Amino acid sequence: MAEPGEHPEVFGADEQQDVDVDVLRWSGLARHTLIAERAPAGGELSLIFVDESAIADLNERFLAGTGPTDVLAFPLDDDPPPRGRQPDQGGRGPGSPSEPSDPPVVIGDVVVCPAVVERNATSDGRPFDAELARVVVHGVLHLLNYDHGDDHEASSMRSREDELLASWRATGEKPGGGEP
């Protein structure tokens, strides 16, 4: 069993009521992806399922997009806060452990709209779970600097998605884990 902080952590939340989602299962897939991509141990990622109006608002406010989309990825700054007390960054203070702990590396947020994923899956003739799995991996890969701005990048990203999904399925898709 892995010790806390030994692997990246995924915090999942379902903030929509349109489509039933197994937050533990999909958080496990996101965690599997982070581990396979060698994300920092102790890194943290949030996987949030939202409705169409929420994702449309995020898309418009932060990405100058129009309307709802299936997934958005918001990487966070990788500059950790300074050590020591705030605001002077002096000593650690009375009662503090002698060894400072490193702050967690916050990787970012992946925001998914299951209603859009379901609509896309239906129109493309794919199972909802297969489409949702691909969207979760896709969002996590965006946080890890994958992109699809040109044909080569798109092909590379799609290949990596396929590899990660195959390796996740090989683990038995354990809810909440993804790693044996």
In tens, the pLDDT along 47-62 reads 999 999 999 999 999 9
**Residue 149 in this model has a pLDDT that exceeds 90:** no
pTM of the model: 0.81
46 confidence band (pLDDT: 50, 70, 90): very high
Distance of alpha carbon 154 from alpha carbon 8, whole angstroms: 26
In contact, 15 and 54? CB cutoff 8 Å: yes
- What are the pLDDT digits (tens) for 75-100? 985 544 444 444 444 455 555 555 55
**Spatial distance between the Cα atoms of 123 and 129, rounded to a whole number of angstroms:** 14
